[in-house]
Amino acid sequence: MGRLRSSWVARDAFRELNFFYLQRAWHFTELGNYAIAADYVIRMLNRCPRDPVGLILGEIVANFTQQDAFLAKCREAQRRLCVQNNVGDALQLVSEESEREKLRMWVKMARDAPAIEGPVEEQMVVQETEPFTDTRSAVRMMAQRVSSLPLVELQQPKQSVYGRGIYALTRINSGTPVMLDQPFLVQRMRDDACAHCLATIGRSGASAGGVQCAHCDREVYCSVACRDAAWREYHVCACVSRNEMYAFWEGAMRERLLSDKMEESRAALACLSVAKLCVLSTVQQMHPLALPRIRSLRGRADYDAATALSEVGALAVTLATALRQTHLYMEELLSLFAIVQTNEFLLPSGMALYHGYSFLNHSCEPNCALLGSGATNRRLVTLRDVREGEQLFIDYNASLTARVSYADRRALCQQRHFECFCPKCVRQE
């Protein structure tokens, strides 16, 4: 009896996963995210290669993503299926009429779509899932780290073009610290930076030669406290002594990080950061997009459909296997890439993600700045007197703004998918 029940449970789980793949593929086809839809279709067809809906969806998304080999395979499989079932069109094998008509419309759209020269660009947009009241409470705690009576708070004015932002609750004098946030993720770019906090190893306050991981010689920290925190939070799952597959991939990606080509180095940094979020979620035994601080962030990223399918799809398989995270799909990784690229703070020694500082909006003439060395203990400090009710701004490109033209500043802002309306940009200076 136990074997019969076990077999029934396995069949039920098989059907549920197929239904999930089909649902997600359908959803992203409707949204026009054909690369993500293709990822789910391919996974479904690997399990059910003769499913008519999967094969038709495969033809549609292959057309839109310019995957000629996949398109040919789907059409050939449809032809064989039609011969076996003595029908003239695979659409006749779709039982639901509404589903059949929607597929018919998509097939026509795909076949009639003009040929596109060059990459097919798509976009991933991620919205927060954490209630606003919870996020505002977290920001209030950060404000209370520097003042028992908070001077600022997170607001979301309905009429503001900025959306969420940090606003002054009272008049604030110039030079006043108003918030203190700590990074919840860092990724180092230099070997002399602490792998957990980015502090320069060898400076005062840090061990002269650094503190190595007790289980490998790949990670070096500025202190025993950082070493132990790293092991507890994520390195226990990524250390070569525990996970050779992940460590091998990470080592190869770190070599790309050292590339002389800026684009390749930045891509490697993003991949390492996204992978580290997946490691954090593995240790905490939760979905990466459900991580406490990630839940409150928004993100947006443009991607080439073909590149996403080949590279991000392959990365999803690698990380899912290495971390034994069966729910890691291309959809999750693209969402994490969007969040990282939208909210990252680039520092001389690496990259950091902050929770509260991510809600600060940009101005080329800011009234605040993040002051402090390294990634930790960076305080938000006012640069001039701030009125009650005034929004606090920082300069996302502080190291460049004084040296580049209006056109270059505008291009930098467009990389983050917004346009600056500060007085300096309005004057086009």
3-class DSSP state of 374: coil
Q: Containing H/E element for 354?
A: strand 350-354
Name the residue among 84, 29, 12 with its Cα closest to residue 52.
Answer: 84
pLDDT given at position 119: 84
For the purposes of burial, counting CB atoms within 10 Å of the CB of 232, is it exposed (0-12), middle (13-18) or buried (19 or more)? exposed
- What global pTM score does this model have? 0.91
Q: Distance between CA atoms of 90 and 378, rounded to whole angstroms?
A: 60
User: How many CB atoms are closer than 10 A to CB 298?
Assistant: 16
Task: Give the orientation angle of helix 52-65 with respect to helix 34-47, to 10 degrees.
Answer: 150
Q: Containing H/E element for 414?
A: helix 406-415
User: How many CB atoms are closer than 10 A to CB 220?
Assistant: 21
Q: Distance between CA atoms of 69 and 71, rounded to whole angstroms?
A: 5
What are all long-range contacts of 13-21, with beta carbons under 8 Å and residues at least 24 apart? 14/47, 17/47, 18/44, 18/47, 18/48, 18/51, 21/47
**Phi/psi-derived region of residue 163, left when phi > 0, alpha when psi is between -120 and 50, beta in every other case:** left
Q: Distance between CA atoms of 44 and 21, rounded to whole angstroms?
A: 6
Q: Distance between CA atoms of 360 and 392, rounded to whole angstroms?
A: 7
- Counting DSSP H helices and E strands in the chain, the numbers are 15, 14
**Residue 424: what residue type?**
K
Kindly report, residue by residue over 351-402, the tens digit of the pLDDT.
999 999 999 999 889 999 999 878 998 999 999 999 999 999 999 877 665 5
For the purposes of burial, counting CB atoms within 10 Å of the CB of 317, is it exposed (0-12), middle (13-18) or buried (19 or more)? middle
pLDDT given at position 340: 96
pLDDT given at position 423: 78
**Structure tokens that stand for 179 in this block:** 């918030």
> DSSP letter string over 131-171?
-HHHHHHHHHHHHHTT-SS-SEEEE--TT-SS-SEEEESS-
Tens of pLDDT along the chain (429 residues) come to 455 455 655 677 778 999 999 999 999 999 999 999 999 999 999 999 999 999 999 999 999 999 999 999 999 999 999 999 999 999 999 999 999 999 999 999 999 888 777 788 999 999 999 999 999 999 999 999 999 999 999 999 887 778 899 999 999 999 999 999 999 999 999 989 999 999 998 764 555 678 999 999 889 999 999 999 999 999 999 999 999 999 999 999 999 999 889 889 999 999 999 999 999 999 999 999 999 999 999 999 999 999 999 999 999 999 999 999 988 999 999 999 999 999 999 998 999 999 999 999 998 899 999 998 789 989 999 999 999 999 999 998 776 655 677 777 777 777 777 778 777 887 877
Pairing of strands 361-362, 152-155: unpaired
Contacts of 71 by beta carbon, 8 Å cutoff, 6+ apart: 58, 59, 62, 63
Residue ranges of domains in the chain, CATH in brackets? 2-117 (1.25.40)
**Structure tokens that stand for 196 in this block:** 């957990």
